[in-house]
Amino acid sequence: MKVCTDACLFGGLLAISFAAGEVKRVLDIGTGTGLLALMYAQKNPHAIIDAVEIDEAAAQQAKENFQESPWKERLHIHNTSIQQFSNITQPPNQLTHPQINSSIIKYNLVISNPPFFENDLMSKNTKRNLALHSSELSLEELLDAVIKFLKEDGSFAVLLSYHRAEQFVNLATERSFYLTAKILVKQTPQHNYFRSVLFFSKKLTQTKNSEIIIQNKDGKYTNAFVELLKDYYLHL
């Protein structure tokens, strides 16, 4: 799977929206080859990031990418589904009854660029289906994982296809999440919205609405896009 412009945009938004001082631990659900985890680590020098990826080849690539980065000590890849992911810690000196006082690690921030399509036309490439379709991770299962791993005062961020946003907000609301920000993404001023960036928390707050356009009419990147990604792209 190639690196997508909208995923890079999402990574740039994450890095500036959730400050390092407040975010100590991050969970990246469906990390692919590690793009979001790497972008967040670059901007936030103290965050420890657990990246979960079900596809073995993608997870191996993420592992290599992490090892080649300056932030490898803070990046951890887990080749498993989020449904099977376990990060239970056990206190020392509990050899006789290791399950006593064991606890799930909770995260300040959970991020995900999940499968876009559900019940849409599937391709013949099973790996591509895993990346682009929700046959292995439904939106409901994603939210269940967030509930399990997110701290009470934590935040959750997701990148979705535009036409899935309303459905996802409704599902999140049913699970007592509040939409804190909605950023709609257009390719150009003439195009319709095609992606939605959604931020959630468990605290009631007024939703901030905004939009980002990737390219101007002349095909050049907009100032907003350049500002978000200038520290990541070699050429803009």
pLDDT over 70 (residue 97): no
Backbone angles phi, psi at 85, to 5 degrees: -65, 135
- Taking a C-beta distance cutoff of 8 angstroms, is the pair 168, 198 a contact? yes
Query: What domains appear along the chain, each with residue ranges and CATH number?
Result: 5-84+104-229 (3.40.50.150)
| Residue 102: pLDDT band with limits 50, 70, 90 | low
Per cent of the chain over pLDDT 90 is 75
Compute the distance between CA of residue 84 and CA of residue 77 in angstroms, rounded to an integer.
14
- Taking a C-beta distance cutoff of 8 angstroms, is the pair 26, 63 a contact? no
| Residue 3: pLDDT band with limits 50, 70, 90 | confident
| Residue 89: pLDDT band with limits 50, 70, 90 | low
pLDDT of residue 95: 46
| Residue 230: pLDDT band with limits 50, 70, 90 | very high
pTM: 0.86
pLDDT over 50 (residue 123): no
Per-residue model confidence as pLDDT tens digits over 151-172: 999 999 999 999 999 999 999 9
Per-residue model confidence as pLDDT tens digits over 4-56: 899 999 999 999 999 767 899 999 999 999 999 999 999 999 999 999 999 99
Q: Which residue has better confidence, 100 or 21?
A: 21
pLDDT of residue 19: 74
Indicate the angle between helix axes 56-68 and 35-43, nearest 10 degrees.
20
